[in-house]
Amino acid sequence: MLALAFTFACSQPAEKTTITISGTIENLDAGPVEFVFYRDFTNNHREIISIVPDAQNQFSVEFEMPEAAMGTLRHGRTSIQLFLEPGDELEMTVDAGNWLESIAFSGKAAAVNNFLVAYQRDLLPGAGNSFVSNAAANLDPKAFTAAMDSVARLKMDFMAAFAENEALSQAFTAWFETEVKYEKFTRLLSYPAMHQRFNNLEILPELPENYYAFLENPDLFDGSRLNSETYVNFLMAYLGHCADDHKARFAEDASANEINYTLARELVAGESGYYVQAISINREFNYGKLDKALALYENFMETSGSEDLKARVTKTWNGIQALMPGNPAPDFSMTDINGNQVSLSDFRGKVVYLKFWASWCGPCMRQVPPAKELKIRLADQEDLVFMYVSIDTDLDAWRNAVERNHISGIHFQTPGRERGTPALYQVKWIPTFIIIGKDGNIFDNRPPQPSDANVDEVLLKALAQ
């Protein structure tokens, strides 16, 4: 019997950990087709799977995905959410001239993704961000809460109606419930500031006494929901909400990441707490002060109960060290906006003020007017080069933004930040600025932005060396 049991066990196929997407894409024009998902949300690290149809318009891609999660199928300005689990084999057919109206799935995981297409096509246009913004502007707190409750019920009813005819996986159902629940919670947290901003009020609106009662739910934090970006975003919004009540406890120069880290340790239980602590450390490493980030990192390594998250923040720190001032700036060659092949090394002997940006990025575009003024102030500095790498996936949008805003300098474009030059410089958020010295080494890996008061001083210091 033992021998038979051993033989049976050995004959069982290993659980498949890869995902396959295959199918046909008709009428595909220029521009890449990609499936994008988060490999590590704590450090904003996404993975891109390129989809390249053959001469018969067919394709097949296989890749590893660590756990059941949502990703995005994108082409130009079209983005379609897909939910996949390890072992899924999804087949699709689509006319690229009209993605949402023509896409259809078959094979394993077909039901949940056909549902998501119907959800994005038929329900979200009337219950998405535009509806919420309008409600936040025009409704009082009680009415807004009722509206968000109504939207949540509408979404859950939409799923229930679909599930009457098509079985949806347990993992997807749990994920979708998380999306609906915590999207509502995040919007309730956002309402006071949104209402104030939309109505140009001097103070926040007065809220009913029990407005935040939903935050007292004992099951508010649940580590099993960390495969949901919406849940993680709620955790960060929750910490921002709590920071207002605890601000007096912290030093005046405490960064938002320091405050979030401390509050996460105190207020968010279990794996969810460790997760947002890791996010706070990684953000301080990428955008804050190095000494503050190292202090958080050392504390986390001593106190965290998650070996996986310790490894993630250590990976971030190792990457940061590679781009510290004095290290060689990673060289690259790209085709510029005029069709010329240009390399970073072509500018050896000059100071390069490098910016990673996108035309759709509000904070990036807000730096354009100050950059124009900066260029005027430093017009006599012939050894100063302004270089731009756009991560736009829409070439026309990129070119139009450069031309319409008269952004002078050396311009490159690469679709997304997950590969090529942005990946070389470990770009996690935009805008990202880097100053490269005349010797080709990194002079400052987190310099002031054009709107900052000391930007002239830092650039002139680099030019003087």
Question: Parallel, antiparallel, or unpaired: how do β-strands 333-335 and 33-40 relate?
Answer: unpaired
Q: How far is it, in rounded angstroms, from Cα 278 to Cα 276?
A: 5
- Say what the pLDDT of residue 30 is: 74
Which residues, at least 6 apart from 40, have a Cβ–Cβ distance to it below 8 Å? 312
- Say what the pLDDT of residue 4 is: 44
Q: How far is CA 437 from CA 71, 134, 459, in A?
A: 39, 48, 9
Are residues 44 and 8 in contact, defined by beta-carbon separation less than 8 angstroms?
no
Are residues 34 and 48 in contact, defined by beta-carbon separation less than 8 angstroms?
yes
Q: How far is it, in rounded angstroms, from Cα 462 to Cα 435?
A: 8
- Say what the pLDDT of residue 15 is: 67
The domain locations on the chain are 16-108+116-127, 129-322, 333-464
- Say what the pLDDT of residue 2 is: 45
Q: Which two tokens stand for residue 94?
A: 């689509």
Q: How far is CA 209 from CA 176, 184, 212, 316, 396, in A?
A: 30, 19, 8, 42, 50
Are residues 378 and 456 in contact, defined by beta-carbon separation less than 8 angstroms?
yes
- Say what the pLDDT of residue 95 is: 95
For domain 16-108+116-127, say whether CATH 2.60.40 is its number: yes
- Written as one string, the DSSP assignment of 213-257 is GGGG-TTS--GGGTT-HHHHHHHHHHHHHHHHHHGGGS-TT--HH
pLDDT tens across the length of the chain (465 residues): 444 444 444 444 456 789 999 999 999 987 789 999 988 889 888 888 999 999 999 999 999 988 899 999 998 778 999 999 999 999 999 999 999 999 999 998 999 999 999 999 999 999 889 999 999 999 999 999 999 999 999 999 999 999 999 999 999 999 999 999 999 999 999 999 999 999 999 999 999 999 999 999 999 999 999 999 999 999 999 999 999 889 888 998 899 999 999 999 999 999 999 999 999 999 999 888 889 999 999 999 999 999 999 999 999 999 889 899 999 999 999 999 999 999 999 999 999 999 999 999 999 999 999 999 999 999 999 999 999 999 998 889 999 999 999 999 999 999 888 889 999 998 988 999 999 999 999 999 989 999 999 999 999 999 999
- Nearest by Cα to 444 from 452, 453, 455: 455
- Say what the pLDDT of residue 221 is: 97
Are residues 166 and 111 in contact, defined by beta-carbon separation less than 8 angstroms?
yes
φ, ψ of residue 291 in degrees (nearest 5)? -65, -40
- Say what the pLDDT of residue 64 is: 92
Considering the entire predicted model, what is its pTM?
0.84
- Say what the pLDDT of residue 220 is: 96
Q: Which two tokens stand for residue 413?
A: 């474009």
Q: What CATH number has the domain spanning 333-464?
A: 3.40.30.10
